[in-house]
Amino acid sequence: MRPIHIGLSVIVALLWGLNYVAIPIGLENFPPIFLSFLRLLLSSLTLIFFVKPPKVSMKMVFFYGLTMFSMQFGFLFSSLRAGLGPDLAPIMLQTQVFFTAAFALIFLKEKLTVWQVAGALIAFSGIILVGTSKVNATFLGIILVLAAAISWGMGNVIGKKIGKVDKIALVVWGSILAFPPVLIASLFIEGPHEILEAFKTIDAASIGSILYLTYGSLLLGFLIWNHLIYLYPLATIAPFTLLVPVFGALSSSIAFTIPIHAKTIIAFVLVILGLSIDMFGYHRKKRSG
């Protein structure tokens, strides 16, 4: 990968890591599914009058938005409300790397190198170490975050199959097509009363959370991500998301005064080492090819 693309991959990981500060703040006021709806609605209204639909099947755009935006974040937000800690959530969500690689192997016929497998195993040993270093989760929270990981993996493969398309248009119209199912789910599961009560107690922190989740994480983060997965194989780009738990655990620990243990620091080192091995293997393959 070119240095600029490596840098962009790290920026995306940082943007998504900071989600785990913004999400708990938003959940203090809004129910999780409706919070997901608000970020999709705002992103759609921001650019809908300035961005034409992407020149690709709208059916594909719908399924991309449904998996990447509606399902992933609906499940993720719900997992945090269900008792999964903000320090543990980004660790568990990274099981999406396994799902992404599996879906890419099945549907895109992408091949994995020995370096990629070795790097992933080392990095995930770090993730497992963090996840088992302390208990800050519920069974329901774990199930919901795994559902979010599966949704992310599906969205990655759909985005790759869509191919070369206006990335801004894909995110905007994916959000437009995705938010009606989220609103219906929120009204059915959470109910109008809980939603109305949330607006009665809205404050500056909640508004700031929604704005970051919309413009920092969703629009900017996914625009960069879509560009990168078009340029490189999914198996090459996906490991960068292993940095998300590093940024997520660190930022949430600082924001919510959650202590960081020695095992967590060791795990972070393993994640970086695994990513480095993966990248070394990619560049070696390019030179030999």
SS3 for the chain, per residue?
CCHHHHHHHHHHHHHHHCHHHHHHHHHCCCCHHHHHHHHHHHHHHHHCCCCCCCCCCHHHHHHHHHHHHHHHHHHHHHHHHCCCCCCCHHHHHCCHHHHHHHHHHHHHCCCCCHHHHHHHHHHHHHHHHHHHHCCCCCHHHHHHHHHHHHHHHHHHHHHHHHCCCCHHHHHHHHHHHHHHHHHHHHHHHCHHHHHHHHHHCCCHHHHHHHHHHHHHHHHHHHHHHHHHHHHCCHHHHHHHHHHHHHHHHHHHHHHCCCCCCHHHHHHHHHHHHHHHHHHHHHHHHHHHC
Tell whether 147 is covered by a domain.
yes
Residue 130 pLDDT level (bands cut at 50, 70, 90): low
CA angle 271, 275, 279 (to 5 degrees): 170
* pLDDT tens figures, 106-119: 888 877 778 878 88
The answer to whether residue 283 is domain-embedded is no
Domain that holds residue 22: 3-112+137-248
Is residue 117 in some structural domain? Answer: no
Say if 71 falls within a structural domain.
Answer: yes
**Residue 98 one-letter amino acid:** F
In the chain, the number of structural domains is 1
pLDDT of residue 170: 87
Q: Is 211 within a domain?
A: yes
Average pLDDT of the chain is 85
What is the average per-residue pLDDT within 92-98?
78
- Look at residue 256 and tell me if it is in a domain: no
In a domain, residue 265? The reply is: no
Nearest to 266 by CA among 249, 278, 254: 249
Q: Quick check: is 281 in a domain?
A: no
According to the model, what pLDDT value does residue 133 have?
Answer: 63
Q: Does pLDDT of 95 surpass 70?
A: yes
Condensed to tens digits (0 to 9), the pLDDT of residues 215-235 reads: 998 888 888 987 888 888 877
pLDDT at 111: 78
pLDDT on residue 23: 94
Beta carbons within 8 Å of 280's beta carbon, 6+ residues apart: 115
Q: What pLDDT score does 49 carry?
A: 83
